[in-house]
């Protein structure tokens, strides 16, 4: 008899946490600490005070958006916990958060860096090197997706183990 059959883990909460935390990492580390790029620095280079102000405003809008992902994850987790017993699993949480963070990197890397060109990962290096940083960001995201999928699958095996 499976003692965990009536328990549930809200994977959607972990995905939303991962998306939000992926955005926080990008915004805090790459935009603010390293100052490698800003939200619209591919379109409006940070070479005037006006462009810096515009980019800083859009960095704030980006941070607010990623904050909403984290709040949505918290809401899903809270709502699930109030309605039924949650199977608290480090593997399921870690795996789903890695999936969310990896999805953030892959989508953001493809859409913002390559399709729209609104910014690139490291705009402080020579322009000919930007592609390598952008591809590395996507590869990092794919690695998180693979690791997250693996960890999530392992965590789900535990929930159906006899």
SS (H, E, C) the chain: CCCCCCCECCHHHHHHHHHHHHHHHHHHHHHHHCCCCCCCCCCCCCCCHHHHHHHHHHHHHHHHHHHHHHHHHHHHHHHHHHHCCECCCHHHHHHHHHHHHHHHHHHHHHHHHHHCCCCCCCCCCCHHHHHHHHHHHHHHHHHHHHHHHHHHHHHHHHHHCC
* pLDDT at 82 (0 to 100): 86
- pTM comes to 0.91
Residues 41-58 pLDDT 10s: 999 999 999 999 999 999
* pLDDT at 86 (0 to 100): 80
Residue 15: band (very low, low, confident or very high) from pLDDT cuts 50, 70, 90 = very high
Q: Where are the domains of the chain?
A: 11-160
What would the mean pLDDT of 128-139 be, rounded to a whole number? 98
Q: What is the mean pLDDT of the chain?
A: 93
Residue 142: band (very low, low, confident or very high) from pLDDT cuts 50, 70, 90 = very high
* pLDDT at 161 (0 to 100): 55
87 has a pLDDT exceeding 90:
no
d(CA 32, CA 56): 9
């Amino acid at each position: 008899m499976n003692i965990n059959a009536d328990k549930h883990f809200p994977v959607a909460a972990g995905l939303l946490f991962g998306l939000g935390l992926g955005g926080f990492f990008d915004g805090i580390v790459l935009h603010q600490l390293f100052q490698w790029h800003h939200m619209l620095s591919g379109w409006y280079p940070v070479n005037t005070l006006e462009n810096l102000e515009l980019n800083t405003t859009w960095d704030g809008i980006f941070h607010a958006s990623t904050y909403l992902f984290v709040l949505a994850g918290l809401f899903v987790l809270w709502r699930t916990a109030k309605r039924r017993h949650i199977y608290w699993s480090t593997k399921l949480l870690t795996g789903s958060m890695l999936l969310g963070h990896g999805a953030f990197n892959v989508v953001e890397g493809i859409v913002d860096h390559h399709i729209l060109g609104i910014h690139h990962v490291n705009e402080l290096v020579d322009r000919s090197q930007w592609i390598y940083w952008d591809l590395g960001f996507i590869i990092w995201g794919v690695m998180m997706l693979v690791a997250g999928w693996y960890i999530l699958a392992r965590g789900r095996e535990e929930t159906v183990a006899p």
